[in-house]
Amino acid sequence: MRLIPKQVETLWTLFTGPVVWALHFLACYSAAAIYCAKAGQATFSFATLRLSLAAITAGALLAILVAAWLAWRQWGFGTGDPPHDQSTQQDRLFFQGFATLLLSGLSFVAVIFVSVPLVFIEVCAR
């Protein structure tokens, strides 16, 4: 019995990692910008904002890991070696799975890079 059915492996899974990264980027930078623009009016501290964004980061990384696992499963758990350039349904699925896996890895690293300022910035600079 599979936890996630095979039918979810469509072309849309290819875009999961980059979309999650983009939403994470938007959430982190807009939340920090709004907080710093209205720092005197906020009812919570910057540390609270950092913890919230850390939770959002953890959720984004988890979503990308799920997408990567689905891609690895679609790729046949690494059984098919690239380049997957034959015009067969199997090779198309392997190519899509491999491409999704690579994009998920890139998106995972991008989310970590977006989160690095959360570690080093402690206050808003004016």
> Which pLDDT tens digit goes with each residue over 2-42?
565 555 556 677 888 999 999 999 999 999 999 988 877 87
Annotate 29-67 with DSSP letters as a single string.
HHHHHHHHHTGGG-SS-HHHHHHHHHHHHHHHHHHHHHH
pLDDT in tens, 69-118: 888 787 665 566 656 555 666 666 777 778 888 899 999 999 999 999 88
Tokens 């997957």: give the residue: 84
Tokens 């290819």: give the residue: 14
Does the pTM surpass 0.75? The reply is yes
According to the model, what pLDDT value does residue 81 have?
61
The domain segmentation of the chain, as residue ranges, is 14-117
Q: Check residue 64 and report its DSSP letter.
A: H
- The pLDDT-based confidence of 1 (bands split at 50, 70, 90) is very low
Residues whose CB falls within 8 Å of the CB of residue 64, separated by 6 or more in sequence, listed in order: 16, 17, 20, 21, 104, 107, 108, 111
